[in-house]
Structure 1
Amino acid sequence: MRRPVRPRSSPRSGRTTTRSGAAPSATWAWKRRSEPPHERRRGRGAASKKEKRSMTAPERPSPKYEPFGWHHWPDDFWMSYQFRRGLGETQEGGGAVSEVFQAATHITAGDFETWYTAWRHIADRNARRGDEALAAGHVRTAMNCWLRAANYYREAEFWLTPDDPRRLDAFTQAERASANAFTRMDPPGEIVEIPYEGGKTLPAYFVRSANGGPRQPVLISVGGLDSYKDELWFMTGRGAVQRGMSVLMVDGPGQGGALRRHGLVTRHDYEVPIGRCIDWLSARPDVDTSRIAVSGSSLGGYYSARAASMDSRLAACISHGAIWDIHERWKARDDNHGLAGHIKWVFGARDMAEATEIARPFTLEGVLEHMKCPYLIIHGGHDVLGVEAVRKVHDYATAHGVKATLKLTSEEETGAEHCQHDNPTLGQELMLDWLADVFGIDQNTLSFFPG
């Protein structure tokens, strides 16, 4: 039976999970939507036109453009949101519009298997094309194909359960594709491991700008609840190197390889992993240590603000989507929430009740007043998380003397979705131009080249 359309303020319940402990390798069971009635086979025998009319199920809502962007499956909020994310990142080299819509034609709303198969197909195709292009000496084409493949692999694995071996395989293929592309840039990008704790490391990509001189300012870029370093190129990294900055795109605790390979769940004191990144950067002769900034997207907006409030070595901070208090936001969510499975994985929790309890110290109250650097808060005016929390972050910061700037992107200018997923180009332009100004970068002196 089809579920009714849910309003934006009440997203669909997408999956349930169970865990026997905090370790990622546990048993997970997720709900799946049954096949829509109008796609099921009818029994034998013909029916009259009148009977056909009476037996025909209501058609699914048509795709449409909303204030927050293209809404492909209006009766499936979270799947449409993830599709919108992949569609938007085509603008930054993370896909091709036709391929993304081609994948959508093979996806049944609410069916995570069709989602995986469709995205995996175009990911493998681009990875293969990249390898073939390199063999033919077509390096630029190879790099383009690999970047698309990396983002498609990320999309493919999104709804898989953490203990599904296909998830780590798709992630590994995404890293391979990213590494193939980044290491062939000029200057070559580096695949690095940031020393962390207990002998474990934080996987990262370090990419220098061709424009910035021998000692460059650096942006440390982290994702949020479900993004990781390979996606950050399309959200912040590309814009940074275009403006004369190096970028360190890192998987912190609860993200990417740190979570998938090392079992590192998230932590409220994110100044610790960010501090390890600053330590690593400070040992490099090609880094201007007086100009190191941090940006965090979505849940990362809390991470970045926390780090910049607690580590005075950071010269600027960006919350790409602001969050005031995680516990307060999640306390009404149960195990049927559309992202409950991922939340439990990232927080190392058995259920949402435990995840919410773990999230108690994830608040900027009593923290944000310690920030001494310029602070940009950029947030979608039609963000799925609403705008109340971002206003609270801004008002609290300014009331405590923080030099904070708030930018709410509107429906009219686009980019009004969470983290500007409907138009990430706009998000990069707003964030990285602001940061270039803070760092005193004269963009008139930079050489501009395609890509």
Structure 2
Amino acid sequence: MRSEADLGGRQGRHFRFRNGTMDFNAGWVLGYSQLGGLAPGEVFECFNAIRDGNPDSWVAAFAGMAERQEAAACSQAPAAAARGYLAAAVAARAAWHLIDPANAQAQELHDRLERCFQAFLAATGSRLAAVELNTTVGTLPGYATAPIDAASDAASVWYVVVGGGDTFREDLWFFGGGRALAEGYDVLLVDLPGQGSTPYRGLHFGEATILALRELLVRLRAHRPAARIVLTGFSGGGYFILKALDDPATASIARVEALVASTPVTDIATLLRRGMPAALTSRPHGWRARLLTRVAGRMSPVMATALKKYWWQFGTDDLAELIDLAGQAGVVDVARLDQPLLAIVGESEPTEATRQASEVFADISRRYPASRMVHFAKWTGADAHCQVNNLGLAQDTIMAWLAKVL
């Protein structure tokens, strides 16, 4: 098949598959193998069963692996079972990368993801537990080391992880939650409206995403007055965390100690317009946009499946409306941000993401010299979007910086 770029321009080069979106997802799954779950050999066993550019073969390969891993884990001793349950969760999550959320199998895979991840937590005796977080915009699924509404005067560090448009709450364990636990931090992982399984609850991306995050930060601070809060965001989360804190009322109450973003973004609508294929964004309005999207989907089954997931998350199949909803909360007012920032950028990120990140860092670093901007070159293996191809290096970098600023 011909080479095809990733839908979001998140990697910039190919390693295993000629389809860019499939190849980015492949690097993502391999990146998780550094931290637990599927071993590289098990990941490649799935790859060998996949037809390049065919999303159904991707889903079948990883769904089958998830089923086998869970069945094996059920009969093993706790240590082996823990690895097996995490492997099953990762495989189920991997299958979700390229499935239509309207497919009945999607719900089954999500149920297995949650069941197996929580079995992994139980088998390891983790302090992390599933929680349901009530907000004015709806109830959100998450994981936390303690109920955020339980009063405590402990001077602990709370490590809050916020994902983007392609994450479930379980993903956030790999994007820093697990490492923060190992460092002795308290941890909060949450799916905001539009993320993870929340569209099944009628919750979609938009201003509600930001409002929910603001509420949670204020509540966490209200019940943990002596805690130090570190707010981290990956992918779209790099926009959500900045926008949550450019509200003076939220910022003054939450008193967040430090920000970590990969990548810090101020104008997510512009990023989406410039990151998506020109054929989809040149005429993003009305029936012409829908026609172009459907034609593109017929030419690329992977693109069609990826777009269906985004339509589901935003509650619309109109590209112009989707972009408007993404930017509904507005552009971040960086001058209002009052915390040191670790800005992380991979060399293979879209040019627009790098530009915005550089502007954010330049502004904040003038007020907070302890801020740092890290560029991961291709040779580091951490150059892809959110450093999915070398998460261990990214987390080493984050923890080293926090040791200096907290």
TM-score normalised per structure 2:
0.83
Checking the alignment, whether the CA contact within 8 Å between 2:154 and 2:227 is kept in structure 1 is no
Question: In the alignment, which residue of structure 2 is the partner of 1:229?
Answer: 169
Matches within 5 A, 1:40-59: none
Shift of 1:288: 6.4
Following the alignment from structure 2 to structure 1, what is the Cα–Cα distance between the partners of residues 269 and 369?
24
**Structure-1 separation of matches of 2:87 and 2:216:** 27
The aligned residue for residue 271 of structure 2 is 329
Q: How far, CA to CA, are the matches of 1:101 and 1:69 in structure 2?
A: 19
| Cα-Cα RMSD | 2.7
- Report the alpha carbon displacement of residue 357 of structure 1 after superposing the two structures with TM: 2.4
CA apart distance, 1:236: 0.6
2:242 to 286, 302, 305: 305
Which has the larger displacement, 240-249 or 102-111? 240-249
Alignment partner of 1:130 is 2:73:
yes
Match of 2:23 in 1: 80
Counterpart pick for 1:160 among 95, 99, 108: 99
Q: Give 1 or 2 for the bigger CA radius of gyration.
A: 1
CA contact 1:223–1:299 (8 Å) conserved in 2: yes
Aligned to 1:388, the other structure's residue is in SS state helix
Aligned residue runs from structure 1 range 9-24, under 5 A: 10-11=5-6
2:108 maps to which residue? 169
User: What one-letter code is carried by the residue in structure 2 that aligns with 1:290?
Assistant: A
What residue identity is the alignment partner of 2:337? M
Structure 1 pair 363–407 and aligned structure 2 pair: CA distance change class (3 A): farther
> Are the aligned partners of 1:281 and 1:289 in contact in 2 as well (CA < 8 Å)?
no
Matched, 1:412 2:379: yes
Q: 2:230 aligns with which of 293, 305, 314?
A: 293
Over residues 245-274 of structure 1, what are the superposed CA-to-partner deviations in whole Å (9 max), with x where a residue is unaligned? 1111111111113223x1211124644222
Partners of 1:78 and 1:417 in 2: CA distance:
12
Which of 143, 157, 171 does residue 205 from structure 1 map onto? 143
- Following the alignment from structure 2 to structure 1, what is the Cα–Cα distance between the partners of residues 329 and 219? 25
Alignment of 1:257-268 (within 5 A): 257-260=197-200, 262-268=201-207
User: Which of 259, 272, 283 matches 1:317?
Assistant: 259
| 5+ residue gaps, structure 1 | 15-66, 440-451
Q: Give the TM-score normalised by the residue count of structure 1.
A: 0.75
234-243 or 97-106, larger mean C-alpha shift: 234-243
2:84 corresponding residue in structure 1: 145
Q: Does 1:373 align with 2:339?
A: yes
Counterpart of 2:36 in structure 1 is 93
The one-letter code sitting in structure 1 at the alignment partner of 2:140 is L
What is aligned with 2:15? 71
Report the Cα offset of residue 214 of structure 1.
6.2
2:38 and 2:188 map into 1 onto residues whose CA distance is 22
Residue 421 (structure 1) shift = 0.9
Deviation by residue 1:166-185 (Cα, 9 ceiling, x = unmatched) = 11210111011111112343
In 2, are the aligned partners of 1:70 and 1:84 still within 8 Å (CA)? Answer: no
Q: Tell me the CA shift for residue 12 of structure 1.
A: 6.3
Higher helix share: 2
Superposed CA deviations along residues 47-85 of structure 1, whole A, max 9, x for unmatched, are xxxxxxxxxxxxxxxxxxxx9787101x21110000110
Task: Give the letter for the 1:274 counterpart.
Answer: L
Structure 1: distance between partners of 2:70 and 2:266 = 40
One-letter code of the match for 1:206?
A: A
Q: How far is 1:380 from its partner?
A: 0.7
Question: Cα deviations across residues 287-319 of structure 1 (Å, max 9, x unaligned)?
Answer: 564301211110111011112333321221111
Q: Deviations over 1:351-391 (max 9, x none)?
A: 212212223435544x2211111111111122246522322
Contact 1:292 1:315 in 2 (8 A): yes
Q: Return the letter of the residue paired with 2:62.
A: W
* Identity of matched residues, %: 24
Q: Which moved more, 1:99-108 or 1:164-173?
A: 164-173
Contact 2:156 2:186 in 1 (8 A): yes
Q: In the superposition, relative to structure 1, how do residues 202 and 269 fare at CA in structure 2: closer, same or farther (>3 Å)?
A: closer
Are 2:41 and 1:5 equivalent residues in the alignment?
A: no
Following superposition, the deviation at residue 197 of structure 1 comes to 2.1
